[in-house]
Amino acid sequence: MVKSLLDDAPGRISFTSDLWTSLTTDGYMCLTCHFIDNNWTLQKRVLSYTFMPPPHSGLALSTKIHNLLSEWGLEGRVFSITLDNAYTNDLSIDTLRDELNLKDLLVCKGDHFHMRCCAHILNLIVQEGMKGVDPSIVKIRESVKYVKGSQARKQKFLECVSLVSSGNKGLSQDVSTRWNSTYLMLQSAIHHRRAFQHLDLIDSNYKYCPSKVEWEKIEQFCSFLKVFYDSTLMFFGTNYPTANLYFPMYICVT
C-alpha cells in the first residue's frame, strides 16, 4: 500500500528522521517520508522504525538511512531530509550527500538537502535560557512533587481545589529533558494558585508555597515560555507545510 502510494506520487520526496535511546539503553531510529500525492494532498508515512545498534556515529546513521532509501527504491527521488541540530547528524548528512551526489541523484547537488529541525533549535534556545532557573520555579517543581508524593497529599490538595473552586485541571510534573513540560507545569500551578496557598495554611509539612512576588515572577516566566511553546506547536504540524513558518515565528520570538 505504502509502496504503491510512493510510486504514484508525482514529485520528489522529503524525509525526517530521529534517533533516541529507550529506558533500557537500546537505540531506535525512525525514518518518515513526506510527499504530495496525485490529489495534491500532503502525505506522511513511516517507512521504518528500527533498532539502531551502537555506535550511533555519523557514518553509522548515514549508512542506515542510505540502506533504507535503497530498500524502498527512493535513492533517486530524495529532495531533503530534516534532522535535529546535532554534530553527529551534520556528519551523517555530509556523508549521505556525498554518496548520493556520486550518482547525481540530488537537486542542485544537494544544496537544499539538509534541513535542520526548527522545533529542536527552539528547544536548544530555551534549554540554554533555563540553565539559571529562578528559585520560584524550583518551588513550583517541589510543590508538585510534594502533592504527588502520596495519596493522602493528593486527597488533601483536591480538597483545597474544591474549597477554592479552581476546577478539575490536573497538575503537571516536568521532566529535565523537556522544557515544554516545565511550561505545562507552571501553567497548571498558576491555575491552582489559590489551592496551593490554602494548602500552605492547613498543612504544616508543606514548605514550598511561593510568595506573592514569586507568583508574579512565575506568571511572567510562563508568558515568556508561551511564545516558544506556541511556536513549537506550529512546527509540530504534519498535515501542512512548516518551512514557510520559520521567519514569522522567528520574528515572533525575537
Q: Is the pLDDT of residue 165 over 90?
A: no
pTM for the predicted model, two decimal places? 0.77
210 and 164 in contact (C-beta within 8 Å)?
A: no
Q: Is the pLDDT of residue 235 over 90?
A: no
CATH 3.30.420: which residues of the chain?
Answer: 2-116
Q: What are phi and psi of 166, to 5 degrees?
A: -95, 10
Integer Cα distance of 172 and 153 in angstroms: 15
Residue with more model confidence, 181 or 1:
181
2-116 topology per CATH: Nucleotidyltransferase; domain 5 (3.30.420)
First to last CA, the chain: 44
95 and 59 in contact (C-beta within 8 Å)?
A: yes
Tell me the pLDDT tens digit for each residue of 129-158: 777 777 888 999 999 999 999 999 999 999
Integer Cα distance of 144 and 182 in angstroms: 11
- Which of 183, 176, 198, 171 lies closest to 228, judged by CA? 183
H/E stretch holding 34 reads strand 27-36
Tell me the pLDDT tens digit for each residue of 51-74: 999 889 999 999 999 999 999 999
Q: What are phi and psi of 25, to 5 degrees?
A: 65, 15
